[in-house]
Amino acid sequence: MKKNSKTTDQKVPEKTSGMKRRSFIKLMGGGVFVLFYVGDPFKLLAQRRELPEDFNAFLRIDEEGMVSCFTGKIEMGQGVITSLAQMLADELEVPYDQVEMVMGDTDLCPWDMGTFGSMTTRFFGPPLRAAAAKARNVLTDLASEHLNLPPSQLTIKDGVVMDQHNPEHRVAYSQLTRGKKIEKEITETPPLEEYTKFTVVGEPMLRRDSRAKVTGDAKFSADIRLPGMVYAKILRPPSHGATLSSVDTSAIEGMEGVELIHEGDLVAVLHESPQMAELALSKIKATYTYDELDVNDKTIFDHLLAVAPEPSVSEEGGDLEKGEELSHLVFEREYHNSYVAHAPIEPHTALAVKEGDRIRVWASTQTPFPLKDQIARVLDISPNKVHVSPPFVGGGFGGKTSNGQAIEAARLAVLTGKPVMVAWTRQEEFFNDTFRPAAVVKIKSGVTKSGSIALWDYSVYFAGSRGSEHNYDIPHFKTRIFNRSWTAPPGTHPFATGAWRAPSNNTNTHARESQIDIMASEAGIDPLEFRLKNLKDEKMIGVLKAAAEKFGYTSAKSPSGRGYGIGCGIDAGTYVAHIAEVKVNEKTGHVQVVRVACAQNMGRVINPQGATIQIEGCITMGLGYALTEEIQFDGGAIHNKNFDTYELPRFSWTPRIDTVIIDAQHEDPQGGGEPPIISMGAVVANAIYDAIGVRLCQLPMTPERVLKAIQKS
Amino acid sequence: MQNNIQYSINYLMMKEIIRFELNHEPRELELDNDLILAWALRINFGMTGVKVGCELGLCGACTVLLDNEPVRSCILPVSEVQGKKVLTIEGLAKNGELHPLQKAFMKHDALQCGFCTPGMILNAYGLLMKNPEPSRKEIIEGMEENLCRCGAYTRIIDAIQTAAKEMKGGVAL
């Protein structure tokens, strides 16, 4: 049995599903359905997560032989619309183009906690394959009856079951399902196909949604139109920590077509034109009382250290004192990174409408099922009265696990009785975002005369624990986590924080791999050689060597003047190593990343094309937090309002990117959407040091900071 | 296409007829000068391929062609299109046959979430109208003001180069 593919015969009552199983199947017509629970219920219980309680189908084979794959996952650019179809096609042995994807709809798809953490392939893949294997068994049994042959004598190709001795004696899936309604539940894991038999998995496939996206046909939340719909503009405080004390709406009285809603903390104006709603909103006068944290983008790091809770120790070995004694050189450094915005080009958007006693919500969300529950709680209705349908999502990166806009739309739809669209402006997006937290890492490390790391004393404040493992072969080490998550208790951050692509790991890998580089340089050893010397993990050694080969790396002590920087780490089960080359303009402080090579070991690769594109995207996006992206703030007031004051990577930044994906088809697939971003801070910092001998320990490495560091040295 | 001409009559004082060509067809709109083109295209004419990302002309998702010139429709008053030709992504394919740029974007997987894609393609179209055989550097310069958060830039550059080769001998509109 494959890991993660355990299923259960435990009976789960169908109690909260918006649509009952029977009505679902009735709605969908004939065919074969396979129903079961997403994920491993025992694992979910261990994580104290809500057990999936709905009973929706994973897949359906209709009477024409078309296969529908139902998944609670959403498509936001990461490409699972393609890779899940590949997995299903292989396991069911149907042509890839006969698979249709139905994604994220809470009435139609199996419960899912959300699309984040690079988990779709790792954790949804196995149950999906089990469902497909089950369907294949059912169809084989039907074919056995139809052809009057024992199942052992049958073989399947492209959705056709045939006698292996006489291929002309055959029957297609579509013939077997015609006029039938067959439901099957998974009670035990059926045997899965051996990976060696896959013909679609492992093939580079182009995106299957690209035609819709290049023609404008692809619908995002803002593109859904309903008769009588209105746009809502919502009054926002000038800063986080400001509470509305009075509001004067007299100026909008008599404005034609404008509807005002004021309920509790929610002040909104609605109009059929978004411009008119915006105009009306601008006429509202409000006063606030302020209770903000006295902190800004400069003082935040001292503040974080001052409010840090007691740490938990996540890994420990040997004896730190002994490690220090053994060390010939000891280094103490502190690393900082600023708050960073998700900044998807599609702002948070939702359209909500009452449909009878239910409410329907189209939303740009990474978490349709949790959103359904959230809306139910806020409206004080049963979750089965809420139907969330996410159309295409225009980028998420973790930011669309927070669904404020959809809750606002749902509240307003109920209050007005109209279909209500809430589409945040860019300024609202920069205000309401759940930012990647500012964080501090302190490291004390030591290296012996022979260049072995003897000491590793690591403390991370407020980034979270993901990626905090040191990965190296170190005898004396201790890792302390001050606040395990990317969110923190009140009084810590001046505004909301949340998961940002490879959360925690960007901060931890930046600090760790910078520190490793410092030790290598001071020990007089080439940074690649130093890493290889201090690693035992063969997979990490493998990706480092592969990246070096792709890059054409040759050994040299740093700073070599070449501007090469190395970094490596593990995220979502995937091993990744990067080598970058930079050019530093010492007059302006401008850093140009010229090229990046990346090697990744992610186990079996479902879609090598998609995986490569995720590597390219991660490298490009990672340049932003490495070089420019930073929230500027004073108390709860955020100064970045739009893309003129928050600089995203652009065309001219794009380095040459070379990628290697290690062949590991015999291993279970691991994450792909996040791992290749984790090293970007460190590789650029290390490359700057290698270029000009100046070390920066704060992200982003803006031209001002680079110049300051040059002057200081 | 649903006729939405009556759209704003109820609340507007000043009325003016805007006549223009939208995706090769004559259109008109009775509206005030303050209406922004992106909203008019999306709401009045259903051209939802016009994406709104920043409302300040900074991201390029709303790019459309105005007399073959790429413009940021999120900051352009609709009065500016009087008597002119507007092309949105919906009007780029001809009788179901995709434009070489659209095909090249598909071939190179030059998109992820797809939200910036219509703006990218139309900006590239404007670039190729002026410079049918741009160098890589010229493509970067011409596309610099269009943002893609997913990081598809290298593929978009490759796609534009492929399309330029395909279109050699003229841009067919």
**Which DSSP symbol is given to A236?**
-
The pLDDT of A175-199, averaged and rounded, is 80
For B111, the closest of A213, A650, A657 (CB atoms) is A213
Residues B115 and B73 in one domain: no
- Half-sphere exposure of residue B91: CA atoms within 13 angstroms, side-chain side: 23
Q: Is the dihedral of CA A249, A251, A254, A257 positive or negative?
A: negative
pLDDT tens-place string over residues A274-319: 999 999 999 999 999 999 999 999 999 999 999 999 999 999 999 9
Residues B84 and B46 in one domain: yes
> Is residue B172 domain-resident?
no
For A590, A686, A697, the CA distances from A586, given in Å and listed in that order, are: 7, 16, 18
Give all strands (DSSP E) within A216-290, no chain letters: 230-234, 242-248, 259-263, 266-271, 285-290
Check CB contact under 8 Å for A643 and B59: yes
Least confident of A62-71, A575-584, A622-631: A62-71
Last residue of a domain, one of A187, A215, A243: A215
Last residue of a domain, one of A401, A423, A445: A423
For A210, the closest of B46, B50, B111 (CB atoms) is B111
Per-residue confidence (pLDDT) for residue A11, from 0 to 100: 33
Name every chain A residue with its beta carbon within 8 A of the beta carbon of B76: none
Q: Does residue A675 carry a pLDDT above 60?
A: yes
Residues B58 and B112 in one domain: no
Last residue of a domain, one of B67, B91, B115: B91
- pLDDT band per the 50, 70, 90 thresholds, residue A13: very low
Per-residue confidence (pLDDT) for residue A706, from 0 to 100: 98
Last residue of a domain, one of B42, B67, B91: B91
Provide the token pair at A699. Answer: 């992200």
- pLDDT band per the 50, 70, 90 thresholds, residue A181: confident
Task: Give the CATH number of the domain where residue A79 resides.
Answer: 3.30.365.10
The pLDDT of A108-114, averaged and rounded, is 86
Q: Does residue B5 carry a pLDDT above 60?
A: no
Check CB contact under 8 Å for B150 and A621: yes
Per-window interface: B 85-144 vs A, CB < 8 A: 88-90, 92-93, 98, 102, 105-107, 109, 111-118, 121, 139-141, 143-144
- pLDDT band per the 50, 70, 90 thresholds, residue A195: confident
Question: Which range of residues forms the domain containing residue A390?
Answer: 221-290+348-423
The identity of residue A304, as a single letter, is L
Residues B111 and B152 in one domain: yes
A31-35 β-sheet, strand order: A99-103, A67-71, A57-61, A31-35, A181-185
Check CB contact under 8 Å for B11 and A257: yes
Question: Which range of residues forms the domain containing residue B106?
Answer: 100-166
Total domains present in chain A:
3
For B58, the closest of A395, A617, A642 (CB atoms) is A642
> Is residue B117 domain-resident?
yes
pLDDT tens-place string over residues A249-279: 999 999 999 999 999 889 999 999 999 999 9
Q: Is the dihedral of CA A539, A541, A547, A550 positive or negative?
A: negative
Q: How many CB atoms lie within 10 A of CB A541?
A: 16
d(CA B14, CA B30): 10
Radius of gyration of chain A (CA): 27
Q: Does residue A684 carry a pLDDT above 90?
A: yes
For A167, A471, A590, the CA distances from A535, given in Å and listed in that order, are: 54, 7, 34
User: How large a percentage of chain A has pLDDT more than 70?
Assistant: 91
pLDDT: is B129 or B14 the higher one? Answer: B129
Find out whether A683 and A565 touch, Cβ atoms under 8 Å. yes
Q: Is the dihedral of CA A540, A546, A550, A555 positive or negative?
A: positive
What are φ and ψ of residue B27, in 5° steps?
-135, 160
Query: Which 3 state secondary structure label does DSSP give A454?
Result: strand
Residues A415 and A312 in one domain: no
The pLDDT of A504-510, averaged and rounded, is 98
Residues A455 and A485 in one domain: yes
- pLDDT band per the 50, 70, 90 thresholds, residue A214: very high
Check CB contact under 8 Å for B48 and A214: no
d(CA A294, CA A296): 7
Across chain A, what does the average pLDDT equal? 92
pLDDT tens-place string over residues B30-59: 877 689 999 999 999 999 999 999 999 999
For A657, the closest of B117, B121, B154 (CB atoms) is B154
Q: Does residue A16 carry a pLDDT above 90?
A: no
pLDDT tens-place string over residues A428-458: 999 999 999 999 999 999 999 999 999 999 9
The pLDDT of A219-224, averaged and rounded, is 98
Name every chain B residue with its beta carbon within 8 A of the beta carbon of A648: 147, 149
List the one residue out of A74, A99, A66 whose CA is nearest residue A174: A66
Task: Give the CATH number of the domain where residue B148 resides.
Answer: 1.10.150.120
pLDDT tens-place string over residues B89-123: 999 999 889 999 999 999 999 999 999 999 999 99
Check CB contact under 8 Å for A395 and B118: no
Question: Is B34 at the interface with chain A, CB within 8 A?
Answer: yes
d(CA A292, CA A62): 58
Per-window interface: B 37-96 vs A, CB < 8 A: 39, 42-43, 46-56, 58-59, 61, 88-90, 92-93
Nearest residue in A to B93, CA atom: A215
Residues A126 and A238 in one domain: no
Residues B84 and B114 in one domain: no
Name every chain B residue with its beta carbon within 8 A of the beta carbon of A103: none
> Is residue A588 domain-resident?
yes
Nearest residue in A to B100, CA atom: A214
Q: Does residue A31 carry a pLDDT above 50?
A: yes
Per-residue confidence (pLDDT) for residue A42, from 0 to 100: 42
Query: Which 3 state secondary structure label does DSSP give A457?
Result: strand
Per DSSP, helices labelled H in A148-273 are 173-177, 210-215
The pLDDT of A343-371, averaged and rounded, is 97
Find out whether A683 and A699 touch, Cβ atoms under 8 Å. no
> Is residue B34 domain-resident?
yes
Residues A335 and A254 in one domain: no
- pLDDT band per the 50, 70, 90 thresholds, residue A189: confident
Total domains present in chain B:
2
The pLDDT of A701-712, averaged and rounded, is 98
pLDDT tens-place string over residues A453-482: 999 999 999 999 999 999 999 999 999 999
d(CA A467, CA A469): 6
> Is residue B39 domain-resident?
yes
- CA B36 to chain CA centroid, nearest Å: 14
- Going by DSSP bridges, is the β-strand pair A591-601/A574-584 parallel, antiparallel, or unpaired? antiparallel
Q: What is the b/e burial string over B69-79, where b = at least 16 CB atoms within 10 angstroms of the residue's CB?
A: ebbbbbebebe
Q: Does residue A17 carry a pLDDT above 50?
A: no
Find out whether B135 and B143 touch, Cβ atoms under 8 Å. no
Q: What ipTM was reported for this prediction?
A: 0.93
Per-residue confidence (pLDDT) for residue B7, from 0 to 100: 46
